[in-house]
Amino acid sequence: MATSFVHPRLGPVRCDAAPLLAADLVASERPVRQGSVTVRDGSTDSDSLLLTVTYLDREAEVHGLGIAVRQDDPNGLTSAERLVRSWIRAVRSRRMLVVDTAPLCAGGRRGLHMMMDAAGESSARLFVIGAPKAAPADLATLASRGAVVTDDLSEVPAGSMVAFPAHGVPAAVRAEAAERGMRVVDATCPLVAQVQADAARYAARGDDVVVIGRAEHAVVNSLLDEATLVENDADVHALNGTRTSFVVDPGMPAEDAARLVATMREHVPTLSGHHFDAWCYASSNLIHTIRSVASASDVTLILGTDADTDADCRKARDIAAETCADVRVVNALTDISAASLARVQTVGLVPTLSARPGLVEELTDALSGLGPLSTVPRRLSGGTTVRENAADDHQPDVHDPLLTV
């Protein structure tokens, strides 16, 4: 498989799509080698034939595909011809829309950086109370610095250094850590901390506290000691209190929370709750960005491990499927076939937390070898966000909605 070749008339030819073709051969269990090839008088230095496809980019640089096959290997020649013909149908000018919103919110990234720094700078072992949400590679790095994740503070020796991740911990855990003289790295997201403070304040004045959120979100566990969870309309109608205040799980899409608040106001006319400025819009921004990309794409590629086992990957796939008929999960170049790109003019790319590091760049380079490629990052931002720099104060920023294309 030619990674580049020198054509006798065209000169040097770049073959950026070589990894895609090689992956195609590997998937069909055929041996393949990649390397640069020089053509002389129609044949290669190794007395093989080179099957090629070429095109010029906007700067008149030559790109293409090239497969070298021995002249005395008729079966290999047939396979090479079939492969080249299949990928010719995928060669065209196209654009790629990339979700430019990070899979992990700024509060999560801020918390991760704080824990990384604490684990790397201290000689003492860092105990993280509750599994932080992060990319597998980042979790591995945190572990390599000696950090230990535990769900039970009683397993941590007194006086140890402990970290509260971005999703926070219950008030009882904070109190126990202080009582046992532990050194605390508080990486709680500022918006989560505000929700916790509001819930405690409402409970202290005698209100029935309601958390609008999702049971699977870790932050909800830090609130349920003094609150009731509301996930849907049925939960709203099961409420019996007359003096009720609400807080919103920061991981809850703002639109879903607003709809439930409206339903609660009909059921509990005296309802009160924390200010809309305290709501987190990270989840909403990501959802709307994915929908924007998917709705404009012929095929949407979800970069991640497995939608059946990975919640973030599954969520991204389901959101994209609302507006795009062809949604595929991609973990490696072997997941891309010529047929999946034939007649595709616009490709949507949605990275998730489980995406292999460097996969976006690999895929971008490979697709650029199948014709002139225009890459367009897309991001919808607005509402309340968090400063990522751990050195900043704990106040959120408020921005006007903005679609950046």
pLDDT tens per residue, range 196-234 = 999 999 999 999 999 999 999 999 988 888 789 999 999
Residues 6+ apart with CB under 8 A from 366: 16, 17, 19, 20, 333, 336
Asked if the model's pLDDT at residue 403 lies above 70, the reply is no
Amino acid, single-letter form, for residue 401: P
Confidence (pLDDT) at 197: 93
Confidence (pLDDT) at 388: 61
Asked if the model's pLDDT at residue 399 lies above 80, the reply is no
Confidence (pLDDT) at 389: 58
Q: 240 by DSSP, 3-state: which? A: coil
Confidence (pLDDT) at 72: 83
Whole-angstrom Cα distance, residue 65 to residue 143?
A: 42
Task: Sort residue 119 into left (φ over 0), alpha (ψ -120 to 50) or beta.
Answer: alpha
Whole-angstrom Cα distance, residue 245 to residue 260?
A: 13
Asked if the model's pLDDT at residue 321 lies above 60, the reply is yes
Candidates 387, 343, 367; CA nearest to 96 is 367
Dihedral Cα 33, 37, 43, 46, nearest 10 deg: -60
Asked if the model's pLDDT at residue 394 lies above 60, the reply is no
Confidence (pLDDT) at 116: 96
Confidence (pLDDT) at 222: 86
Q: Which of 56-70, 207-221, 255-269 has the lowest mean pLDDT?
A: 56-70
Asked if the model's pLDDT at residue 76 lies above 70, the reply is yes
- Higher-confidence residue of 2 and 384: namely 2
Whole-angstrom Cα distance, residue 203 to residue 244?
A: 10
Whole-angstrom Cα distance, residue 212 to residue 207?
A: 15
Whole-angstrom Cα distance, residue 271 to residue 349?
A: 42
Mean pLDDT, range 58-62, rounded to an integer: 86
Q: What are phi and psi of 52, to 5 degrees?
A: -135, 155
Q: 322 by DSSP, 3-state: which? A: coil
N-terminal to C-terminal alpha carbon distance within the chain: 36
Confidence (pLDDT) at 33: 80
Q: How many C-beta atoms lie closer than 10 Å to residue 235's C-beta?
A: 16
Q: What is the pTM of this model?
A: 0.87
Asked if the model's pLDDT at residue 28 lies above 60, the reply is yes
Confidence (pLDDT) at 252: 94
Percent of the chain's residues with pLDDT above 90 = 63
Mean pLDDT, range 37-55, rounded to an integer: 69
Q: 52 by DSSP, 3-state: which? A: strand
* Sign, CA torsion 182/187/189/194: positive
104 pairs with which residues across the strands?
none
Whole-angstrom Cα distance, residue 148 to residue 159?
A: 15
In the predicted model, what is the mean pLDDT of the chain?
Answer: 88
Report pLDDT digits (tens) over 112-155: 999 999 998 878 899 999 999 999 999 999 999 999 999 999 99
Whole-angstrom Cα distance, residue 357 to residue 134?
A: 13
